[in-house]
Structure 1
Amino acid sequence: MASAVFILDNKGKPLIARDYKGDIPMSSIDHFLVILQEKAEQEGSAPPVLTHNGVVYLYLQEKDIYLVAISKRDTNTITILQFLQKLSNVFTSYFKNLEEESIRDNFVIIYELLDEMMDYGIPQFTETKILQEYITQESHVLEIQQRPPTAATNVVSWRPDGLFYRKNEVFLDIVESINMLISPNGTVLSGEILGAIKMKVYLSGMPELRLGLNDKAMFEKNGRESKGKAIEMEDVRFHQCVRLNKFEKDRTIMFIPPDGDFDLMTYRLGIQINPLIVCESVVETHRGRMEFMIKAKAQFKQRSTANNVEITVPVPEDADSPKFKCTIGSVSYAPEINSFIWKIKQFQGSKEGLLRAHFGFPSIRDDLPTKRLPISVKFDIPYFTTSGIQVRYLKIVEKSGYQALPWVRYITKNGEYQIRMPEPLQLTNASRLPKI
């Protein structure tokens, strides 16, 4: 695992360092910024994992500081990168603003956190609520604290004992983001679904939860047939509270949850998916002006509605004198990003909208921009998932026997959702675009 953890300023100078294993010289950090800059110059951007002379550098940049872990080869890079992200989250919870000044003002607490969160290079306690029970910003509290909280000595280190709520509730949100690249003629060039199960837990005591999904692998393991659609999830990752041996045995998601907000699970589906919103575009260029015709169509079922739709269409840098007309929503020019933005507050399934835009140029020219950026689309569709994932059951068991209310919501939203634009048509006569 990690041999040492450093906090560096933006010039690569160590502000804080913690050596956990002593198997790598601490002077190795002197090479980090040089390697980072070389990689950035060669490849345009540097990857989060760098190597030099047998030392692996894993880093996370936050504002004007770097969180860096060093290790030897054959280390678990994903675990260390997740630890650095947790470290950033904990620091932000303590100091609000994670920057060089806040680091310099809180040396003592940071060293305490580094000692509690990692032992001999292995991550230990990373839940902010647990750490805040016995590492505080008031030194006199540290002096009178005689023992660590129960959670630090308990098997369930992410949840403290003694929680009590008058109303016991669980909120479960299944959020799916769609990454998609679409050609000008509507063909899907690439697409995937990135999903997350997010929870808000307000439960007393030490409850055990069981979650069942319409998981294809679960039905196959149990030799049963699904009555509805079953999905096959890939790259599944769980919060540390999930009992992995139980999941591997019968695909049941069993866990004692942390208190409050957390991500229970993330997954990916690389299945063939149809575009939810498509934009057909025609671009005409004339001497001294350019015209756009955009037709947007919601290709999901009519009973669903996409909220806060934003269609961003790029234009040449020197375009001016914008004029717009649309059949639905509103349009505004955003010169700071060389685009115009078509906003539709509510876009019902199977509906269409038309937009026509006109731009002038400060001087007459015959050449066209060589770089054509794609149209990008933002949206969120409540009560809808593209994959068809469903919660079959959510059982809550606690020794006191109280009744709890589970709430389940589904939402689909955009990720990197882009539609390529066609080649502009060069015309010398009047526009061929229809009026709207």
Structure 2
Amino acid sequence: MLQCIFVLSDSGEVLLEKQLTGHRVDRAICDWFWNQILTQGDSLKFLCRVADVLSNYLDGLNEDLIKDNFVIVYELLDEMIDNGFPLTTEPNILREMIAPPNIVSKVLSVVTGNTSNVSNTLPGATASYVPWRKTDLKHATNEVYVDLVEEMDATINRDGNLVKCEIYGEVQVNSNLSGLPDLTLSFANPSIFNDVRFHPCVRLRPWELNQNLSFVPPDGQFKLMSYRVKKLKSTPIYVKPQFTSDSGTCRISVLVGIRNDPGKPIDNITVEFRLPPCVTASDLSPNYGSVNVLADKTCSWTIGRMPKDKAPSMSGTLVLETGMERLHVFPTFQVAFRIMGVALSGLKIDKLDLKNPLSRPHKGFRALTRGGEFQVRS
């Protein structure tokens, strides 16, 4: 049973407070939780679900979005929790009850004075024994699409050695199926998973027995599961920075190339690093792409798609503050990229079965990998 929810900023400030029972919890408890690791599994899972719903509604989750949408956040918490117990947590159902924020609704609330976004009618799933799905759903074309969306987190030390490399992934489903479909999704290599987390629609018993995902899907888009694959041994690209410092200046050279060819084009490549306060950049020039130096001394090198005929490189001069002979603190490089059609974890979907279909559905599968916290230390 939950007694309260506090939403904190990155600095620990209480942005939002929601008392859920008659027993009031003092804000001072936030100071303790801010410095502790939460160990209550059920409560933590529900809080993760709350974060997913808010992110789905607000198209992100940060301090500014919460401050701009206080009313909607409070309304969502009212519907998701009943006297301290989880109630409705499915975004598709909540959207029928509470309208997502948009410019039109904000203008109307100012003109009419009505700030409530709560619908006067019950959602269609109220009469269904499957709480995340309406009854008697009908689609002109039955179709279901499954996407594997992955982010690679990696840390490479200054010697070029891979210190950490892991994948955080999601199985995202877009279901437009009539009736009450019962799906089973199986993987060719489920043993690679280190951690998994499921949507409430997933039946746990089939997964425990043979690692199959058996579920009745919500209608529309939803995250079926998330997973983590640890201890990968290689990255698709490399970034090699080199600094030569002497007499108040420092020459910088950065080389980018393919380390392990994924078999698909690598695009949306950017390499960023922030200069120390006592350093300014001069004549940074790449042989491919473009470089921008921002006001906070962040140097952003946009490469785009990896060329086939040459390895992108960038060179230039860093001017040190008067009195400094050498650069003593070297920047960390943040690398971003995208690979369509490849799941770098190696995860493969075996098949997707539909029991008792009203008609033969169209099924599609895609994969995408992006660079997450990809750091190269220099």
Common fold by TM > 0.5: yes
Instruction: Show the 5 A alignment for 1:249-328.
Output: 249-301=209-261, 303-320=263-280, 322-328=282-288
- Give the unaligned 5+ runs of structure 1: 40-45, 51-72, 218-231, 422-436
8 Å CA contact retained: 1:332, 1:340: yes
Choose which of 414, 422, 434 in structure 1 pairs with 2:371.
Answer: 414
The whole-number CA distance in structure 2 between the counterparts of 1:92 and 1:325 is 39
Query: Which residue in the other structure is 2:142 paired with?
Result: 168
Q: CA deviation at 1:13?
A: 9.2
Q: Does 1:204 align with 2:204?
A: no
Q: CA deviation at 1:235?
A: 0.8
Q: Which one-letter code corresponds to 1:310 in the other structure?
A: T
Q: CA deviation at 1:16?
A: 4.9
Q: CA deviation at 1:418?
A: 0.7
Query: Which residue in the other structure is 2:300 paired with?
Result: 341
Query: Which residue in the other structure is 1:331 paired with?
Result: 291
Query: Which residue in the other structure is 1:226 paired with?
Result: none
Structure 1 residues 106 and 335: CA distance shift in structure 2, 3 A = closer
8 Å CA contact retained: 1:325, 1:357: yes
The whole-number CA distance in structure 2 between the counterparts of 1:91 and 1:346 is 32
Structure 2 counterpart SS, 1:185? coil
The whole-number CA distance in structure 1 between the counterparts of 2:41 and 2:157 is 40
The whole-number CA distance in structure 1 between the counterparts of 2:169 and 2:128 is 31
8 Å CA contact retained: 1:278, 1:299: yes
Structure 1 residues 12 and 420: CA distance shift in structure 2, 3 A = closer
Structure 2 counterpart SS, 1:29? coil
Structure 2 counterpart SS, 1:88? helix
Q: Does 1:392 align with 2:358?
A: no
What number of residue pairs does the alignment pair up? 356
8 Å CA contact retained: 1:302, 1:350: no
Q: Which one-letter code corresponds to 1:160 in the other structure?
A: K
TM-score (norm 2): 0.81
Structure 1 residues 393 and 351: CA distance shift in structure 2, 3 A = farther
Q: Which one-letter code corresponds to 1:29 in the other structure?
A: D
Query: Which residue in the other structure is 1:382 paired with?
Result: 340
Identity rate of aligned residues, in percent?
Answer: 24
Q: Which one-letter code corresponds to 2:244 in the other structure?
A: E
Q: Which one-letter code corresponds to 1:79 in the other structure?
A: K
Q: Which one-letter code corresponds to 1:197 in the other structure?
A: V
8 Å CA contact retained: 1:275, 1:299: yes
The whole-number CA distance in structure 1 between the counterparts of 2:272 and 2:215 is 42
Structure 1 counterpart SS, 2:240? strand
Query: Which residue in the other structure is 1:3 paired with?
Result: 3
Q: CA deviation at 1:350?
A: 9.5
Structure 1 counterpart SS, 2:208? helix
Query: Which residue in the other structure is 2:103 paired with?
Result: none
Please identify the structure whose Cα radius of gyration is greater.
1
Tell me the C-alpha RMSD between the 2 structures.
3.3
Q: CA deviation at 1:122?
A: 2.6
8 Å CA contact retained: 2:271, 2:300: yes
Q: Does 1:184 align with 2:184?
A: no
Q: CA deviation at 1:285?
A: 1.6
